[in-house]
Chains A and B, each alone.
Chain A
Amino acid sequence: MRAVRWLAVLPFLALIIGMFFANRTQPFVLGLPFILFWTVLWVVLTSAIMAVVCLTDPANRGGDA
């Protein structure tokens, strides 16, 4: 399950590569300009990714960790 932790790289890629494509106002998604939608999407996904990493991390089971 240690491979799961590599998911944490995705938010960084969404910024470093993604922003070049996401820097636009059109199309509007959910009433938000695209750049704002992209930002909110990745904040939510970051939360989800870290929840998955946390749940599958053996360090969180038992012991003082």
Chain B
Amino acid sequence: MNAALAVLILGLLVALVLGLLARFGKTMTLEQWSTAGRSFGTLFVFLLSAGEIYTTFTFLGASGWAYGKGGPALYILWYGALAYVLSYWMLPAIWRYAKEKGLLSQSDFFVVKYQSRALGWLVFIVGIIAMVPYMVLQLKGLGSIVQIASYGSLSSAAAVWIGALAVVIYVYVSGVHGTAWTAVLKDTLVLVVVLFLGIYLPVHLYGGIGPMFHAIDAAKPGYLALPSKGMSVWWFISTVLLSALGFYTWPHAFQAVYTARDARVFRRNAALYPLYQLILLFVFFVGFAGILKIQPPLTGSAGDTSLLVLSVQTFPRWLVGIIGVAGMLCALVPGSLLVLTCATMIAKNGYRAIRPDATDDQVARLARYLVPVVALVAVYFTFRGGQTIVALLLMGYSLVTQFFPAIVFSLARRNPLTKQGAFFGILVGEIIVAYTTITNQTVAQLLPTFPQWVKDLNVGIVALVVNLVVAFAVSSVTRRPDVSADSAVRA
């Protein structure tokens, strides 16, 4: 066994033990298991939502984009910052409503807010379709991280199975408490590893961060800025705005909001997050550092491994092992929150909706039994998904972004949308997202005669605009005068 593999195994064991210890002193009702009894303070809520910042997408993807695409990678820093600004007003309102009504999942929010079972089902189904590929992404990332960081002594497939097993064990036993505790370990380790890599690599390879950028700019003029077409400024702005709106509409991010103890937690975090997110800057530095130094150069999606490849080229084995553990936790922690959210939603919004007479205890037990099932489905698609799963991955963010208008308008004192309006707006938005992703359409193909700046817009904007138009049109037809939304007929 080499030193890197020993460190990886040790890291996994520490995470597993932490995840199991988290259970102590709690009686695991469904509310305790999935929302921690709404007891988390600033730190845990911070780290649960920060799990969003450091997933394998950011650990591998952010450095991969900086390496493979240059300037356009910066969109990742922008959308986070803007999402946190929105969160200041959005999350306290969602949290307060969820607490008042005892909500456990995102579908619950729609069912109660709009008094519509149909809307709850729609959000439930779309949510699952979006979350499964997201889990698969984490597992695939985990596989390649462990394979590279263990110098090939542990195969990608074995890593996926072991990682999934660890998640199943601690989610089954500790629920969201397990995720929160392992998140502490993950964020501490990622912070140290990323700061070290982001400073050491540019200094070691180029003599500093300034010299590194000058060298890249001289070798590849314009690579560090946005191109004039394609991923242009228009693409950049539309992508940042879409991603910012979709940030908290992910079912697992939405459900994590419920764990807070009070609404002030979110307001304080809104000021801390953007600064914390700046750690990503150092991930970018690693990706940029690879541009002129990785031999032979990585092409296409292999760019996502640039951080690890550069580390293997530069560091001793034990250190690569530690970097691998940080990457592994970036997959396991968000993965565990996804599994938990899926299981809660299927038990609460699938089973409960079909069999309303099920007791709380039955639903709670079912949710936990579903943990290994959900994990197995994710593992299956990791190995067998092929091209379909890639298309679904691209779709995920656009799918959940379609929830945004219905959520935000429902927080207004007088909701301008009726349940029918919200339902058909989301439905039409999702159909457009699915159509454009599966047929690989861009705005340029949909609107070939339009000026270049329109063609560069993110295609998700089209779906969101149509979603809004349909939602308001249907609402104006279905709104009956002098009848409030709450007492309107069942959809």
Contact = CB atoms under 8 A, between A and B. Distances in A.
A23 B224 CA distance: 9
A42 B81 contact: yes
B121 interface: no
A4 interface: no
A15 B213 CA distance: 23
Q: How large is the interface on B (under 10, 10 to 19, 20 to 34, 35 or more residues)?
A: 35 or more
Contacts of A65: 92, 262-264
A16 interface: yes
B236 interface: yes
Q: How large is the interface on A (under 10, 10 to 19, 20 to 34, 35 or more residues)?
A: 20 to 34
B271 A35 contact: no
Given A19-B236, A33-B217, A46-B81, A25 B222 contact: yes
A25 B288 CA distance: 14
Contact of B271 (A30, A47, A64): A47
Interface in A40-65: 40, 42-44, 46-47, 49-51, 53-54, 57, 59-60, 64-65
Most buried by B among A8, A36, A53, A57: A36
Interface in A1-34: 8, 11-12, 15-16, 19-20, 23-25, 28, 30-33
Contacts of A59: 92, 263, 267
Given A31-B209, A50-B88, A44 B278 contact: yes
Given A35-B225, A44-B274, A64-B262, A57 B267 contact: yes
Contacts of B57: none
Interface in B16-52: none
Given A39-B74, A44-B275, A23 B210 contact: no
Contacts of A57: 267
A54 B225 contact: no
Given A23-B225, A46-B81, A54 B281 contact: no
A60 B267 contact: yes
B85 interface: yes
A28 B272 contact: no
B277 interface: yes
B82 A15 contact: yes
Contact of A24 (B74, B92, B225): B225
A8 B85 contact: yes
Interface string B79-94: 0011011001000100
Which DSSP category, helix, strand, loop or mixed, fits chain A's interface? helix
B214 interface: yes
Contacts of B272: 47
Contact of B237 (A15, A32, A42, A44): A15
A31 B208 contact: yes
A19 B85 contact: no
A9 to B, nearest CB: 9
B85 A60 contact: no
Contacts of B226: 19, 23, 35
B271 A32 contact: no
Contacts of A46: 81-82, 84-85, 274
B226 to A, nearest CB: 5
A59 B262 CA distance: 12
A28 to B, nearest CB: 7
B270 interface: yes
B85 A43 contact: no
A19 B225 CA distance: 11
B451 to A, nearest CB: 15
Contacts of B262: 64-65
B225 A43 contact: no
A43 B214 contact: no
Nearest to B270: A50
B393 interface: no
Contacts of B233: 19-20, 23
B274 A33 contact: no
A33 B213 contact: yes
A62 B78 CA distance: 33
B480 interface: no
A19 B72 CA distance: 12
Most buried by A among B85, B209, B210, B277: B85
Leading 7 A-B pairs by shortest Cβ distance: A31-B210, A50-B271, A51-B271, A47-B275, A47-B274, A46-B274, A33-B224
Interface of B: 71, 74, 77-78, 81-82, 84-85, 88, 92, 208-211, 213-214, 217, 222, 224-226, 233, 236-237, 240-241, 262-264, 267-268, 270-275, 277-278, 281, 284
13 contacts: A19-B236, A24-B225, A32-B209, A32-B210, A33-B225, A35-B224, A36-B224, A39-B78, A43-B275, A47-B271, A47-B272, A54-B270, A60-B267
